[in-house]
Amino acid sequence: MTNSQSIHSDTRLFDTVDASALDERLEALSHRRRRHVLQCLEEGRTPLTLAELANEVAKRDRDATQSGISAEEVEKVRVVLYHLHLPKLRDADLVAYDRENDSITLSSEIRRE
């Protein structure tokens, strides 16, 4: 496949998404911690609780094992996930967060792709 063929086939991905939705997704993916959230949900068992997700994201943030992460660090990550990152990912339709059941999963749209 030539470069022009690759570029042409890649641009078709954007034909099915309106510009504002694409902008919202790109903005959501612009932060490393939000990408870590998606990686955790894609690679691990789901759904995850907020505490489980915070623990996994904290480990990825520091590239550490469980023993290298303090409870305070995990709590800080949990708070930022809850107030900032999960709402952005939810608004971009990348994750689903059921607060009542404390359940976080990839959105059904992402699982289809």
CATH number for the domain harbouring residue 37:
1.10.10.10
pLDDT of 9 over the 50 cut: no
The domain total for the chain is 1
Cα–Cα distances in angstroms (integers) from residue 55 to residues 39, 49, 85, 86, 105, in the given order: 13, 10, 15, 15, 15
Query: Looking at the whole model, is its pTM more than 0.85?
Result: no
> For 27-82, how does the pLDDT look when each residue is reduced to its tens digit (9 = 90+)?
999 999 999 999 999 997 889 999 999 999 999 998 866 678 899 999 999 999 99
How far apart, in whole angstroms, are the C-alpha atoms of residue 52 and residue 50?
Answer: 6
Task: Give the domain range for residue 89.
Answer: 3-112
